[in-house]
Amino acid sequence: MTDGGHTGGADEVAAFLEHYPETRWVDAIIPDLCAIPRGKRLDVSGLKKVFETGMGLPGSTYVMNILGENVDSTGLGPPDGDPDYPCFGVPGTLAPVPWVGPEQAQVLMTMKNDAGEPYWLDPRVIAGRMVDRIAALGYTPVVAIELEFYLIDPETDELGRPKLARSPLTGKRPRETQVYLMDELDAFAPVLNDIIDTCRQQNVPADVATIEYAPGQFEINLNHVSDPVVACDHAFLMKRAVKGVAARHGLVATFMARPFRKTSTNGTHIHLSLLDGDGRNVFDDGGKDGSDLLRHAIGGLAETMAEAMPIWAPNANSYRRISPVGWVPLAPTWGYNNRSVAIRVPSGEPTSRRLEHRPAGADANPYLVMAATLAGVHHGLTNKVDPGKPIVGDAAQQVPPSLPAIWVDALRAFDDAKILPDYFGAEYWDIYSKIRWSEFHEFNDHISALEYDRFLRLV
């Protein structure tokens, strides 16, 4: 799939409007650093322009913090005059927005600089560069992304905490952890089925919904594709669809890493295999354990995992997830058919051999998660990194925690990184660090209700 500025844009627009003649408004969106959709809503008369000549947005839109603010220390935004650059529609992403109504559509965009080159701060571009690095080795990554989320009530409890959503059918809130329970799928079928239908209308290949390891927690799987950037597009657009459809049903969908203290957390899992030029899965060597290339890829991921922790866990709440609660890895471990490790090799036919990368939270940017994952794989393959022995049984009981589990430690590890900055580019790595450090300091300057409860009168 090629990106914007293509000659087929007019044909795509014409075909879309013929199928959806009621369309009046189009949301032209990009994913920012936090994977929050940003962009403009335009009249349908301007849609052709988005594909052919582009629509201007500030380049700094890609590097806003979680509050939608520019961070002056990055040198972007007000410090550089905040210049606009043209954004073009990504082919195949023009789609209806059913949760709003028949007059609404959306299209994903990607930015180019004044020379017509891909804009360096676009997370789609960053992920694409990592794909190119893998392609230079002669391999095509085949990937899929899994995302977990909760459905919650729009109203909080008396202390401002979230409450699980009531079933649209039974009117009851789920209370027990009943993983894979079909009754709970039935109870939320109106919402979940609507999400799947909506994704299909938007060319997002969502196909399986499951109940996860907590009441009110769900996972929707996306099909494997041979373009990792497209897989990230699917994840980004699916998150928007999940939230939109939930809102139409009077609910809230949250991908917050740990919205509840005593139940499972929300993760982003990357499934990845590599094909050679003949379409053969190079992680399969005919044996039961997979190839040396599989182990080298795992080794590279393990060796770079701590460096990338602020990518897997970008926010303050992300570090509530880095605990033994909910199958979250605490060390760069790996194993076969073992969910307690950071990198799992799922069971299945040897020809379908793949790895599952498990450290990232559902609040992470899927493009940056994919980029860091592919960079780790590339590092492992080119340096033939040995991952050590696979873990059998509960990894948390056998391997001491070693991944940074506190926000400040993760940011320091990020700043001290030796491998991944060369992949992302030192300047981007520095900008990302400055944004996350600014969020860290802003968050620490906030006085929480818990502090008032414990300290206001007692000390």
Per-block average pLDDT, block size 10, for the chain (459 residues)?
56 94 97 96 94 95 94 93 96 96 97 95 98 98 96 90 86 68 77 92 86 77 95 97 96 95 89 97 94 98 98 96 80 95 94 96 98 98 97 92 96 98 98 97 92 91
E strands, 331-456, are: 334-336, 343-345, 355-357
Structural domain includes residue 4: no
Tell me how many domains the chain contains: 2
According to DSSP, residue 360 is labeled -
According to DSSP, residue 286 is labeled S
Instruction: Using alpha carbons only, give the angle 332, 338, 342 rounded to the nearest 5 degrees.
Output: 20
The verdict on 30 and 82 lying in the same domain is yes
**Owning domain of residue 93:** 9-118
Mark residue 250 as left, alpha or beta (left: phi above 0; alpha: psi -120 to 50; beta: remaining).
left
Structural domain includes residue 431: no
The verdict on 190 and 252 lying in the same domain is yes
Q: For residue 459, how many other CB atoms are within 10 A of its CB?
A: 5
Structural domain includes residue 441: no
pLDDT of residue 100: 96
CA distance 155 to 20: 35
Q: Write out the two tokens for 315.
A: 């926010």
CATH code assigned at 110: 3.10.20.70
Strand partners for 109: 89
Residues with Cβ within 8 Å of 31's Cβ and at least 6 positions away in sequence, in order, are 37, 38, 108, 123, 124, 236, 365, 367
Mark which of 60, 93, 118 sits at the end of a domain.
118
Instruction: Using alpha carbons only, give the angle 244, 265, 268 rounded to the nearest 5 degrees.
Output: 65
CA distance 122 to 428: 10
The verdict on 113 and 166 lying in the same domain is no
CA distance 115 to 19: 35
The verdict on 150 and 108 lying in the same domain is no
The verdict on 152 and 89 lying in the same domain is no
| 127, 370 Cβ separation under 8 angstroms | yes
Mark which of 118, 139, 169 sits at the end of a domain.
118
Structural domain includes residue 89: yes
Buried b (16+ CB within 10 A) or exposed e, 376-396: bbbbbbeeebebeebbeeebb
The verdict on 69 and 194 lying in the same domain is no
Structural domain includes residue 432: no
Cβ-based burial of 447 (10 A; exposed 0-12, middle 13-18, buried ≥19): exposed
The verdict on 30 and 165 lying in the same domain is no
Structural domain includes residue 437: no
The verdict on 331 and 390 lying in the same domain is yes
Task: Give first-to-last CA distance, the chain, whole Å.
Answer: 61
CATH code assigned at 306: 3.30.590.10
| 268, 276 Cβ separation under 8 angstroms | no
Q: Write out the two tokens for 168.
A: 């649209």
Residues with Cβ within 8 Å of 428's Cβ and at least 6 positions away in sequence, in order, are 120, 121, 126
CA dihedral 317, 122, 132, 329 (to 10 degrees): 0
The verdict on 18 and 98 lying in the same domain is yes
Mark which of 85, 118, 151 sits at the end of a domain.
118
pLDDT of residue 371: 98
pLDDT of residue 213: 61
* DSSP string across 77-121: SGGGT--EEEEEEPTT--EE-TTT-TTEEEEEEEEB-TTSSBPTT
- 275 sits in which H/E element: strand 268-275
The verdict on 73 and 147 lying in the same domain is no
The verdict on 256 and 375 lying in the same domain is yes
* C-alpha separations of 399 from 80, 337, 352, 455 in Å: 47, 17, 28, 36
Nearest alpha-carbon partner for 95 in 108, 110, 106: 106
Does the CA dihedral 436-358-327-221 come out positive or negative? positive
The verdict on 102 and 189 lying in the same domain is no
Buried b (16+ CB within 10 A) or exposed e, 242-272: bbbbbeebebbbbbbbbbbeebbbbbbbbbb
